[in-house]
Amino acid sequence: MDYFEDLARLSDDDLDIPEWARANDRGKMAFVYTEKAKQERLAYILKSTKRHHFKAKKTWHIFSATIAMGVGLEKSYLSRDASFAPEFRSYLSKVNAELEVAKNNRLLKVAENRGRGRIAEKKEVLVSRVRTTEQRLKEQESVNAAEVVRLAAEKFSPLVRDLLMIEDRRVDTSNKVVPLRRVIESNDE
């Protein structure tokens, strides 16, 4: 349905048809077809998000042979044989210049937004973030280990604490774990 709506939008009343196209039915058909092709190319340019989408010139450029074949004429008719060929060539070069400007503007936007899909940041940033996170995790594990030892020592009964000779201060100020001393008293003494 959109196809027919687009054709209705490109009716003769809406278009400002130049004099060279009004004088000839083939010129009018070529002009309308060129306007339609221009709208299609502009839509393609707006949708394309990668540089390689514009490698082939046919994706954004309009050739006179393409227009001629679309209208049902020989390839060289619009560019050489028609009475309005010089006017059509100058009109087509203006349209292609507009399309090239739109393409270049789109490529500038694509170059600025170098997205990597769902990955929003560069690899170097992600690697440094992983390293700092791993370092923080190691620090957290050492603090947690000291906390676990302290909690386990608190749960011992006073007799076991005396037997193991666990000191009240097991962690020094640098948050390094001090190894527990285990002294076994021999019955020989």
- Which among 29-38, 76-85, 145-154, 161-170 has the top mean pLDDT? 29-38
Ramachandran sector of residue 165 (left: φ over 0; alpha: ψ -120 to 50; beta: rest): left
Mean pLDDT score across all residues of the chain: 78
The one-letter code for the residue type at 113 is: N
The pLDDT of residue 18: 85
Per-residue pLDDT band for 62 (boundaries 50, 70, 90) equals very high
* Tokens (6 digits) for 183: 């002294």
The pLDDT of residue 178: 46
- CA gap 53, 104 in Å, rounded: 12
pLDDT, tens digit (0-9, with 9 covering 90-100), for 133-178: 999 988 888 777 778 877 887 888 877 777 776 655 444 445 554 4
Residue 4 has pLDDT above 90, yes or no: no
- CA gap 155, 49 in Å, rounded: 63
pLDDT, tens digit (0-9, with 9 covering 90-100), for 114-127: 656 666 677 888 88
